[in-house]
Amino acid sequence: MKGEAVPNSPNSGGARRLAPAVFAAPTADASALTESQGAQLFTPRAVGFELEADRRELVACGQELQAAAPFQGRSFFDDSLQLLRRLACRIAVIGQVKAGKSSFINAFVGRPGLLPTDVNPWTTAVTHLHFGCADTPTNVAAQFTFFDTGEWEHLVHGGGHIRELTQRLVPGFEVELLQKHVDAMRSQSEQRLGPVLPSLLGQKHSFPSISTEILERYVCSGVPGSREGQKGAYADVVKAADLYFTGKEFGMPTTIIDTPGTNDPFLVRDEITRRALETADVYIVMLTARQALSSADVALLRILRGLRKDRILVFINRIDDLGDVVRDTPSIVEQVNAGLRREFPTSQIPVIAGSALWAKMAISGSDADIDRALTRKMKAYAAQLAEPAGEPQSDAGSSRKEQNARALLLCSGFSVLPQALANLAVHSRAGHVLKQICRSFCELGQVGRNATLQAVDLLEAEEKSILSRQQQGIEELRAIDAEVSKNEQLTVALGGLLVDLQSRTDQVIDEHCSAMLEVFHGAVSDFSQDECENLRRAIADGQRRGVWRCETTALRQRLEECLIGSFRAAEQDLGKLAGHVFPRLQQLLIRHYPQWKQTNEAANDPIEAELPSLGALSQMVALDLGEPWWKGWWATRRNADEQVAELDRLVHDEFYPVADELVHATRAQLKAQQSAVLQKSTSIYMGLVEFLQEQNKARLARTRVLISAGDAFRKDELRRGREARVADLKRQVPIMERLLGRLENLDRAWAEKIG
């Protein structure tokens, strides 16, 4: 049919031609997505506007600094600028199956109806919506990646951590259920795709535009017996869906991650969801108003404890289902806040109550839809929200539709959502990258300015020496030889400082990781001792025939507290070492070149980095299992001493590996910090030495020409070249000063944001 969209990939596996595209990748900003006045009230650009402004400023400063800096260091500039250009904020939306994640995302990205909202509970695909990202493939708006043969076999036959836990901890029923689920998926795919299935595995389908029909075929459930080319045909074998949009609706390049969902018996899906979350910067946890913070939601939050708990936002969806939104919403929010305080006692996690349905209406609904939604109770709720927020309840300059859309959007929670996410994004990986690059550029700017001034002084001194002592070329050569020797000594000294820094930081990392492991083991032993004592009391109280449980939340929290404290202590010690190196490098330069200008020591303050992955704390262990397992555990122990000894062994066997993994993650994070410091210092200072060496070579060549007989023309040419070089360097000095001022202002601003 004319106008049909077909896969771009030559390895399309015989996919049929599809219906016309209806969601072509837009080029306009979010404000131009719809004519609805509601869209103008919802400003998702606020999410990354501040980060994007700083990113653009750093790119501009980096490019100017790279062009102006007199010393070598191009690779460091290139790497930093490439990282800035590819930087994106990744926001994951996670929650239970049918919590309304897809509807929420559709409203959040301003495209109602984009993602199918009847996603198959069996679907394992993670959907990424990329907005304005630098790595967007050419002429591709949608790309779907299929499981390869090995991954498919992994799903069928098990293996890996999830299957290991299933076999070891839940014998019988859970393993069989997992096998049934995987078999059902494969059988359904074989029925739908037939002989085409083997050719699809490991391949990708790409499309130049996005349509509802395309998405339904790849990530929607379909109906039993549907065939290739019909709804849900590929859903069971799609591992990832990537949708690309050229606009920057969120202020900076942003990826929204739609996860399959949690709280279903398909354990493989939980593992896939967890892997997707590991790469995210900010997490939106979707709850539902009628069942807010259920046991499954608490389990999900415990998983997020293993990620970046200071980047979580909870959105209570579907308050439109409540009978009395004014009365019920505050109590639900307080219930959720109380649960969060129990799980995250040291964190302030923002909670927003709202409705994706209302947001959709406010952004793209008709007058009639908005009027029907704004009941008397709804208007009362809008007035209740507007009063503490300082929002005007009416605007004489606005139409009735605009006022109603504003009220509905306020009730939906979407009007405050962008700013809440913006606050989290500042503390995300993207924010830390911007802060670290800003600090690095400050140091490069300081050294570049000093190197420029140094070069001017040497050239001017050389000119004065030649004018006053034309016949003393031999002495000039000796002075240059002394300068070369001085540079060689400086090179050795700088290299020694950097080698010493690596050695000392290696020692600090080893000492802290060893101490951390000892603290972890002590915490596990203390927990085991307490639990064993509790078990003795339970047996003594006659609970031998009952069911006794071992709650591990307190131990996980204790391990988390120990890790954070130990990591920050190690990071502080590393920061002190690195902070001492920069002044020592400065002192070395001043010793060799007394005219070297002292730099701003405030820039040497250590930057607090991201915490290491706490994913090990989210691992399920035998102690977390339910009543049937504990009944079996009771039945297999003959006496109290055996039960106590077995519990002690079980606690240690389960949590010592967790402790080992936490220490491993900490060591990896500290090593990454060490590597970054060494790479930056080496690039800056060894590049500076190379610049000084090249400067002396040029000076030596000029002096030899000057002492050679009968080469007046060449001498005059060198004089003019030297004068031109001095003039050029002097023009660079104010440029470097201005750049340094901009960077130092930005660095101070980041210090206030993150600390």
Q: What spatial distance separates the first Cα and last Cα of the chain, rounded to whole Å? A: 59
> How sure is the predictor about 4, in pLDDT bands with cuts at 50, 70 and 90?
very low
Instruction: Specify the pairing of strand 126-131 against strand 254-258.
Output: antiparallel
Mind listing the pLDDT tens digit for each residue in 483-509?
667 767 777 777 787 888 888 889 999
Higher pLDDT, 394 or 440: 440
pLDDT of residue 153 exceeding 70, the answer is no
pLDDT of residue 546: 55
pLDDT of residue 422: 92
Instruction: Specify the pairing of strand 204-207 against strand 282-288.
Output: unpaired
pLDDT of residue 14: 35
Q: Are 333 and 353 in contact (CB under 8 A)?
A: yes
Q: What is the DSSP string of 117-161?
A: SS--TT---EEEEEES-TTPPTT-SEEEEE--HHHHHHHHH--HH
> How sure is the predictor about 174, in pLDDT bands with cuts at 50, 70 and 90?
low
What 8-state DSSP symbol labels residue 694?
H
> How sure is the predictor about 602, in pLDDT bands with cuts at 50, 70 and 90?
very low
Mind listing the pLDDT tens digit for each residue in 85-135?
999 999 999 888 778 888 899 999 988 888 877 655 556 678 999 999 988
> How sure is the predictor about 603, in pLDDT bands with cuts at 50, 70 and 90?
very low
> How sure is the predictor about 348, in pLDDT bands with cuts at 50, 70 and 90?
confident
Higher pLDDT, 673 or 87: 87
pLDDT of residue 370: 85
pLDDT of residue 58 exceeding 90, the answer is yes
Q: What is the mean pLDDT of residues 287-301?
A: 80
| 3-class DSSP assignment, residue 260 | coil
Higher pLDDT, 350 or 599: 350
3-state secondary structure 402-460: HHHHHHHHHHHCCCCHHHHHHHHHHCCHHHHHHHHHHHHHHHHHHHHHHHHHHHHHHHH
Mind listing the pLDDT tens digit for each residue in 617-657?
766 677 776 666 677 776 766 678 888 888 898 899 889 98
Mean residue pLDDT across the chain: 76
pLDDT of residue 227: 55
| 3-class DSSP assignment, residue 210 | strand
Least confident of 50-59, 161-170, 355-364, 386-395: 161-170
Tokens of 356: 């994706």
- Distance separating alpha carbons of residues 471 and 455, to the nearest angstrom: 24
Residue in this structure with the two tokens 């003019």, named with its chain if needed = 720
pLDDT of residue 594: 63
Best-predicted range by mean pLDDT (50-54, 306-310, 563-567): 50-54
Mind listing the pLDDT tens digit for each residue in 298-336?
767 766 765 555 688 999 999 998 988 999 999 999 999
Higher pLDDT, 1 or 259: 259
Q: What is the mean pLDDT of residues 540-566?
A: 77
Higher pLDDT, 7 or 643: 643
> How sure is the predictor about 2, in pLDDT bands with cuts at 50, 70 and 90?
very low
pLDDT of residue 20: 30
pLDDT of residue 516: 93
Report in angstroms the alpha-carbon separations of 165 from 35, 124, 388, 622.
Answer: 52, 20, 49, 8
Mind listing the pLDDT tens digit for each residue in 729-742?
888 888 888 988 99
Higher pLDDT, 162 or 588: 588
Share of the chain above pLDDT 70, in %: 67
Higher pLDDT, 416 or 707: 416
Taking alpha carbons only, the member of 607, 612, 615, 605 closest to residue 658 is 615
- Sorted by sequence, the CB contacts under 8 Å of residue 301 that are 6+ apart come out as 285, 312, 340, 343, 344
What 8-state DSSP symbol labels residue 16?
P
Tokens of 651: 């606690």
pLDDT of residue 540: 78
pLDDT of residue 289 exceeding 60, the answer is yes
With b for 16 or more beta-carbon neighbours within 10 A and e for fewer, the 724-755 pattern comes to: eebeebeebeebbeebbebbbebbeebbeeee
Mind listing the pLDDT tens digit for each residue in 206-257?
999 988 888 888 887 655 555 555 677 787 788 889 999 988 889 999 999 9
> How sure is the predictor about 270, in pLDDT bands with cuts at 50, 70 and 90?
low
Tokens of 625: 């299992």
Least confident of 56-65, 190-199, 591-600, 625-634: 591-600
pLDDT of residue 16 exceeding 70, the answer is no
> How sure is the predictor about 178, in pLDDT bands with cuts at 50, 70 and 90?
low
Taking alpha carbons only, the member of 246, 221, 220, 260 closest to residue 92 is 260
Per-domain boundaries in the chain: 429-754
Question: In terms of C-beta density within 10 A (0-12 exposed, 13-18 middle, 19 or more buried), how is residue 557 classed?
Answer: middle
Instruction: Specify the pairing of strand 312-317 against strand 282-288.
Output: parallel
> How sure is the predictor about 368, in pLDDT bands with cuts at 50, 70 and 90?
confident
pLDDT of residue 192 exceeding 70, the answer is yes
pLDDT of residue 78: 83
Least confident of 331-345, 488-502, 563-577: 488-502
pLDDT of residue 268 exceeding 60, the answer is no
Catalogue the long-range contacts made by 476-483 (C-beta closer than 8 Å, 24 or more residues apart).
Answer: 476/703, 476/706, 476/707, 477/700, 477/703, 477/704, 477/707, 480/696, 480/699, 480/700, 480/703, 483/696, 483/699
pLDDT of residue 442: 86
pLDDT of residue 169: 42
Least confident of 27-31, 237-241, 579-583: 27-31
What 8-state DSSP symbol labels residue 397?
T
pLDDT of residue 573: 86
Share of the chain above pLDDT 90, in %: 19
> How sure is the predictor about 17, in pLDDT bands with cuts at 50, 70 and 90?
very low
Taking alpha carbons only, the member of 150, 185, 143, 141 closest to residue 12 is 143
